[in-house]
Chains A and B, each alone.
Chain A
Amino acid sequence: MRPFIKHTGIAAPLLRDNIDTDQIIPSREMKTVSKTGLKEGLFAGQRYLSGREINPEFVLNRPPYTSATIIISGKNFGCGSSREHAVWALKDFGIRAVIAESFGEIFYNNCTRNGILAAQMNGAQIEKLGDTVTIDLPNQSIDGQPFDIPAGDKATLTEGLDAIAVTLKQKAKIEAFFSKDKEKFGWKYS
């Protein structure tokens, strides 16, 4: 996974609350059993008019946001469906980070698993952000403003860790756990 350390990019404002994963990628745009090739479907309901014509009003169709690598939003971004395709579509479009007041829980984890930073800031902090934003993850700073992130998520992102490989290093402990569990709760294994 591509590590996330420092990044400066164009930040597109989508300043609504509750932008759900159905909006980020409508189900009809999930056309292949694959994690790539999904950028055409990103925000398809708003990016296109009928007949797939570009909607000039939508933020990602307006320069400079056509080359945005950061999205800024309000509360509960990525709520709704668990579809990881929402994150894969953002990644495919070139988005490296989403900054919002809060996130849907599953979406947040999906971002971390795919090397995208989901950074939580309050409304007053977000208001200060302009069209170009600089994120410094090791120092937990966005345009000089501090933000919190759980230590485990920070390490996953900055080191670009493959979670399965990390966990398999603990295989002996995991197997020991399950052997003991089987003795104690045999009905679970019947």
Chain B
Amino acid sequence: MAKTLFDKLWDAHCVLAEADGNSLIAIDRVFLHERTGSVALESIIDSGHKPRDPKTVFATMDHIVSNQAGRGRDEARTPGGDVFITATRDAAKKTGINLIDVLDADQGIVHVISPELGIAQPGLTLVCPDSHTCSQGALGALAWGIGSTDAEHAIVTGTLRLKKPPQMRITVTGQLGANATAKDLALHIIAQYGAAGAKRCAVEYAGGAVEALSIEARLTLCNMAVEFAAFTAIIAPDKKTSEYLKGRRFAPTGSAWQQALQDWKNLFTEDDAEFDYDYVIKAEDVRPTVTWGTSPAQAVTITGKVPNDADEAALSYMGLSTGDVLIEQAIGGAFIGSCTNSRLSDLRAAAKVLDGRKVKAGITAICVPGSMSVRRAAEDEGLDEIFRNAGFQWGAAGCAFCFYAGGETFAPGTRVISSTNRNFEGRQGPNVRTHLASPAIVAASAIAGHICDPASL
């Protein structure tokens, strides 16, 4: 029977199939961060277990580290957060795993640095106790988010026990228009199918519009798969993928690299392979998109209105009424960052809008690059000057304002336009009203003082 890309990855990692329908799947790489990884590592140490292969386990500090330039080694942005940083560092040393520490040159958000360092590779299974691990499927890896207890299991046994998920393919035909980005495509898809729309499926993104995306844009698209309840997302690797990975710190070299290239050629869905759900989206239908509510599925095109059948609890939280025009909504905050949109191409897109302009008075505008490497690359191009001159703060890498863990954030009631992935109640702070959008829309809105289509500036 013809196989899907996911079937091939699943079969290649299946250690054994159990009678109850579960399989034991081999795990090639585990990534941890200080917020949920610290507890997994400490629990391993307390129970007397050891990592099966510590060199395949990586930890970074991203979730609650300070985002101020010149930050200290243990400095958290949240009160009491330093304990997560020191616990992760100590446990990483004790267990002998790879640690990318706060002050390391390679530090950054796990889903930004894993591709950047060549840790995520086509054909690998990779898990992390973080729901946005699905991002890394953009490289053709089978990567998914798990809990801390499953992370312990993966580290100690080299496997995870799971039932094969159903499969979905979303083929995006045609080409995205000049003003539509991978973020708009992601929001468009989630709005179309709903927050539970992917039904716990492994979702393969395919089609000409997906092939045309850069690796960074593919990471943005796959990042948001969890927001419509996917098990994960995956894109078949191609020449762009291998060109992206070549020479990166943890990528294979020499003859191993040649062997990898040969193996990666087999990572595609065969012509007659069948999916449980097979959908087609027209790229031409995708417009710049923004959310109005408290679920990523509550999204409309930027020139649109809050729908007539809008959920009342969401309207009440967001301070909106049915029929309200999105672009008329005044904002108090703008944020560019997060594992969704904090890579160099995202910062370039925002800087293009900001160049020579000023953020409207009274708006708190913040940019936090996804990794220190992205930050340095942006500075080499002078992007930091553009952000600063426009009135944006320029932070040090981390998950920053995407979620609130105490400490500094936007004031209660503030309407914030954000390049992040979740607009849940309280996600960015108590009563903060988050509208999700692309970096270009965030930049344009910060200039205009209200939600704004960059094309109208």
Question: A residues touching B (Cβ–Cβ < 8 Å)?
Answer: 16-18, 20, 22-23, 26-28, 30-35, 45, 75-76, 79-85, 87, 102, 104-106, 109-110, 113-114, 150-152, 155, 163-164, 166-168, 170-171, 173-174, 177-178, 181, 185-188, 190
- Cβ of A162 to closest chain B Cβ, rounded Å: 9
- Of the listed stretches B141-149, B171-179, B211-219, B329-337, chain A binds B141-149
Report whether A167 and B24 are in contact in the complex, using a CB–CB cutoff of 8 Å: yes
- Pairwise interchain contact A151-B80, C-beta atoms closer than 8 A: no
Contact (A20, B153) CB under 8 Å given A27-B403, A76-B195 = no
Least distance between A19 CB and chain B CB atoms (Å) = 10
Q: A76-B229, A106-B131 are in contact. List 14 more A-B contacts (CB 8 A).
A: A20-B424, A22-B422, A23-B426, A32-B83, A33-B83, A35-B148, A45-B430, A82-B147, A102-B229, A109-B147, A110-B150, A173-B15, A173-B24, A174-B24
Show 27 residue pairs from A and B whose CB-CB distance is below 8 angstroms, ordered by the A residue. A23-B424, A23-B425, A27-B403, A27-B406, A28-B404, A33-B42, A33-B83, A34-B39, A35-B43, A79-B195, A82-B130, A82-B147, A83-B36, A85-B36, A102-B196, A104-B229, A106-B146, A110-B147, A163-B153, A163-B161, A164-B156, A167-B159, A168-B157, A170-B24, A174-B15, A174-B24, A187-B256
Bound CA span A16–B147, Å: 24
Interface string of B240-258 (1 = CB under 8 A from A): 0000000000001100110
Complex Cα spacing A16 to B24, Å: 35
- B425 x A110 contact (CB < 8 A): no
User: With a CB–CB cut-off of 8 A, which chain A residues contact B181?
Assistant: none
**CB distance B153 to A164 under 8 Å?**
yes
Which of A16, A17, A187 makes the CB contact (< 8 A) with B259?
A: A187
A159 to B35: give the CA distance in the assembly, Å.
30
Using CB atoms and an 8 Å cutoff, list the residues of chain B in contact with chain A.
15-16, 18, 20-22, 24, 26, 28, 35-36, 38-39, 42-43, 47, 49, 78, 80, 83-84, 87, 121, 123-124, 129-131, 145-150, 152-153, 156-159, 161-163, 165, 195-196, 200, 226, 229, 231, 252-253, 256-257, 259-260, 263, 295, 313, 403-406, 422, 424-427, 430
Is the beta-carbon distance between A164 and B157 smaller than 8 angstroms?
Answer: yes
Q: Among the listed A18, A83, A167, which residue makes an inter-chain contact with B157, where contact means beta carbons less than 8 Å apart?
A: A167
Contact: B152 with A18, CB < 8 Å?
Answer: no
Minimal Cβ-Cβ distance residue in B for A154? B20
In the complex, are the beta carbons of A173 and B20 less than 8 A apart? no
Contacts of B87 in A (CB 8 A): 33
Query: Given B147, B256, B295, B403, which contacts A84 in the complex, CB threshold below 8 Å?
Result: B147
In the A-B complex, the 5 residue pairs with the smallest Cβ-Cβ separation, listed nearest first, are: A190-B256, A110-B147, A27-B405, A151-B20, A187-B260
Of the residues A114, A150, A177, contact of B163 by C-beta under 8 Å: A150
Q: Please tell me if the beta carbons of A150 and B424 are within 8 angstroms of each other in the complex.
A: no
Contact A170 B16 (CB under 8 A): yes
In the complex, what distance in Å separates the CA atom of A185 from the CA atom of B123? 10
Q: How far is the CA of A173 from the CA of B80 in the complex (A)?
A: 44
Q: Are B83 and A152 within 8 A (Cβ)?
A: no
CB of B261 to closest CB in A, whole Å = 9
Within the complex, the shortest CB–CB distance from A36 to chain B, in Å, comes to 11
CB distance B404 to A80 under 8 Å?
no
Which residue of chain A is the closest to B43 with respect to CB atoms?
A: A35
